[in-house]
Structure 1
């Protein structure tokens, strides 16, 4: 391969199988011996069994160049006993003056856009797709998203908390994060969701202006009875309390949504009363983004699924070099078979990550960055044949030091 030239190959689109949003297994959650690996829910090809001792993999087609001070891009092909994959890696050296990592999202939480569009809008120089999302309904991410400027944008208190974060002290970390949320003075209200795609049974969720407009019964799995909507204005006063969920109304203060017994408890909030809601990520990290599961913990592989091969996106932390590793593996294409979860974890360890997290894969897997000629573009080959619009991700920005 000629240095400075990106590898290219035709990509093939594969139709997605919608995953319904309900109180049960979610995209990416492991149930028994079955793991859903991406928001599209497509079943991947089963990795061939390797009998006996496999030959060492062979890496070819290397391309590596600096995107910016402290940020390096590397691309290569790997051939092993199971076939060929193509890998893309951005390595960000934290502490480099002017280089920063932040949450990446559209204007509203449920809005979906191509990663490239969001990177351009933020004047960033790179980015990858992020969390699994409610692909068949609201489009919103399943877990936590927090940015340097806005703090917690969306999240849930339990059930989807494996995350990449940058701590208040500026340290990159991977592990479980806890969301703290409460209706002040009303401990009886179980507030567990902040701008989340679903408020599950017997729970309460809050929707803020970052959500955009009310979504009706879409956020309660279509439930029409035993639900309650409480509208709070910017001055923390209840202006409406109804047993029917509105749709398409712009959220200017906040909207509390409850189901079942929590709907009955919400009904007791009187119009005109003062209601204040507090929510944050414990520890107040500067940046946070969840995935479905941790791949590597202290250089120990924590996943066992070595069956289905898919396109993958993952993020890792190399504490020895204070670097963050953004990794994308192409899949569902003739030139790149995709990786299993075990293979993805093993490669992260090989690349130097002490800890690593699996992000949304399949047709969502996208890496955007500067090409050798300085232009911004999609660096991998998304398996849909084009970028899949997604709700969030992570971005890299570089601001040159003033002279």
Structure 2
């Protein structure tokens, strides 16, 4: 189904109202550490706002969804911005859409982020770094703590910036041929001298219990015990510079710029790092499977091969999502406004329904809530925020999915 066929017509009835399953934290977190689990695996928004309850109206009683107020303009060749309002028995919803044809000469999709992984910035400022014509907020991030994104990020120019071995790996990416894909990406980090070391994280906001985190200059300033969930025992830091261990310590420093490479171990990972002594050589390699040109992760795959993968239909939030229409080759980037009288937001099931209505065969949920921000350029104008962020202002976020256009002539 094409986007253009969907927009003028009435929408499609939302999915069945089902109780949302609780999102579990990482399996290696012990019972009673609910706060840490919420930080590591937020359900809907980095801000952890509880959202608003959706009216539990059975599908048969919801009636048709109507659409109105469609506004659209070309952002660049192959890139179109569209806005419209939907209304159903649950209330009004405002939707913003970027339709991107990555095959159009001059159009590129890319990861946008600050100079350091720990920093945050407004979406409009992240996009300005690359003179992007449009984009949206990206991955969930460690708001209020390190500020770093939870998952994996690969920039077209800068390469791999951050990632996890497992636990937050559902990604939108461009494969080796530049074709848009949605699926799991696995990060493997190895130390040539000790290939069995349990290295689990790269420039990540926390080190997995029992694992080892790698921090490089791209991380920024050392975050101390924030990366160990405040744990001060059974931890170890190893400083590597010039490919050689310079120091090893059971104390984690805070606020100093990472120079060279910093290894941080927890539990068994800390015990394993005791094998490294000053003067020992260290060679680290990173591998991604698959190996993408560009990648950015999100929390949940909404649609896979045309089939909805979520049932959560009770809590509404502002939402951001990205999908792929295999029929047209278009990438569909969506923001749903929320937490206002003009737009109530969407449940995950409604968001998945919307992506299918637009023609998406695969779709991924990105960070929502106050982070949801869409920027697009008007003809003859400059990039500006087109939705209504629910905080009342642009939130500083960890990264973004951007669209750039360069005149191919």
Q: TM-score, normalised by structure 2?
A: 0.89
SS in 2 for 1:117: helix
**2:132 is the alignment partner of 1:124:** yes
Q: What is the distance in 1 between the residues matched to 2:208 and 2:339?
A: 34
SS in 2 for 1:24: helix
Q: Tell me, yes or no, if the aligned pair for 2:200 and 2:208 is still in contact at 8 Å.
A: no
Q: Tell me, yes or no, if the aligned pair for 1:27 and 1:38 is still in contact at 8 Å.
A: no
Q: Tell me, yes or no, if the aligned pair for 2:190 and 2:199 is still in contact at 8 Å.
A: yes
Tell me the equivalent position of 2:187.
179
Q: What is the distance in 2 between the residues matched to 1:222 and 1:26?
A: 13
**2:31 is the alignment partner of 1:24:** no
Could you list the per-position Cα deviations for residues 306-332 of structure 1 after superposition, in whole angstroms to 9, with x for gaps in the alignment?
Answer: 000110000001111111110000000
Tell me the equivalent position of 2:72.
64
Structure 1 segments, 4+ long, off by >4 Å, are 19-23, 25-29
Could you list the per-position Cα deviations for residues 297-354 of structure 1 after superposition, in whole angstroms to 9, with x for gaps in the alignment?
Answer: 0110000000001100000011111111100000001100000000000000000000
Q: What is the distance in 2 between the residues matched to 1:397 and 1:252?
A: 32
Q: What is the distance in 2 between the residues matched to 1:21 and 1:291?
A: 21
Matches within 5 A, 1:213-228: 213-228=221-236
Aligned pair partner of 1:106 in 114, 117, 121: 114
Q: TM-score, normalised by structure 1?
A: 0.91
Q: What is the distance in 2 between the residues matched to 1:37 and 1:76?
A: 23
Aligned pair partner of 1:319 in 303, 314, 326: 326
Q: Tell me, yes or no, if the aligned pair for 2:74 and 2:378 is still in contact at 8 Å.
A: no
SS in 2 for 1:239: strand
Tell me the equivalent position of 2:21.
none
Q: Tell me, yes or no, if the aligned pair for 1:151 and 1:280 is still in contact at 8 Å.
A: no
Q: How many residues align structurally?
A: 377
Tell me the equivalent position of 2:388.
381
Q: What is the distance in 2 between the residues matched to 1:100 and 1:286?
A: 11
Aligned pair partner of 2:149 in 141, 153, 157: 141
Aligned pair partner of 2:81 in 73, 87, 90: 73
Q: Tell me, yes or no, if the aligned pair for 1:21 and 1:136 is still in contact at 8 Å.
A: no
Aligned pair partner of 1:270 in 277, 286, 295: 277
Give 5+ residue unaligned stretches, structure 2. 1-24, 26-32
Tell me the equivalent position of 1:33.
none
Q: Structure 1's 329 and 122: CA in aligned 2 closer, same or farther, altered over 3 A?
A: same
Q: What is the distance in 1 between the residues matched to 2:185 and 2:367?
A: 18
Q: What is the distance in 2 between the residues matched to 1:374 and 1:302?
A: 39
Could you list the per-position Cα deviations for residues 23-52 of structure 1 after superposition, in whole angstroms to 9, with x for gaps in the alignment?
Answer: 5344655xxxxxx21111111111112244
Aligned pair partner of 1:296 in 263, 284, 303: 303
Tell me the equivalent position of 1:9.
none
Q: What is the distance in 2 between the residues matched to 1:353 and 1:70?
A: 17
Tell me the equivalent position of 1:349.
356
Q: What is the distance in 2 between the residues matched to 1:27 and 1:268?
A: 29
Q: Tell me, yes or no, if the aligned pair for 2:54 and 2:315 is still in contact at 8 Å.
A: yes
Q: Tell me, yes or no, if the aligned pair for 1:21 and 1:198 is still in contact at 8 Å.
A: no
Q: What's the CA shift for 1:127?
A: 1.1
**2:45 is the alignment partner of 1:38:** yes
Q: Tell me, yes or no, if the aligned pair for 2:126 and 2:400 is still in contact at 8 Å.
A: no
Deviates more, 1:255-264 or 1:85-94: 255-264
SS in 1 for 2:61: coil
Tell me the equivalent position of 1:164.
172
Q: Tell me, yes or no, if the aligned pair for 2:211 and 2:266 is still in contact at 8 Å.
A: yes
Q: What is the distance in 2 between the residues matched to 1:49 and 1:283?
A: 40
Could you list the per-position Cα deviations for residues 347-390 of structure 1 after superposition, in whole angstroms to 9, with x for gaps in the alignment?
Answer: 00000000000000000000011024422110100000001100
Q: What is the distance in 1 between the residues matched to 2:182 and 2:334?
A: 15
Q: What's the CA shift for 1:283?
A: 2.5
Could you list the per-position Cα deviations for residues 180-214 of structure 1 after superposition, in whole angstroms to 9, with x for gaps in the alignment?
Answer: 11112313310010000000221100001110121
Could you list the per-position Cα deviations for residues 137-193 of structure 1 after superposition, in whole angstroms to 9, with x for gaps in the alignment?
Answer: 111111011111222110101111111010011110001111111112313310010
Tell me the equivalent position of 1:306.
313
**2:397 is the alignment partner of 1:390:** yes
**2:168 is the alignment partner of 1:155:** no
SS in 1 for 2:97: strand
SS in 1 for 2:141: coil
Q: What is the distance in 1 between the residues matched to 2:229 and 2:203?
A: 15
From the two aligned structures, give the one with the greater helix fraction: 2
Give 5+ residue unaligned stretches, structure 1. 1-18, 30-35
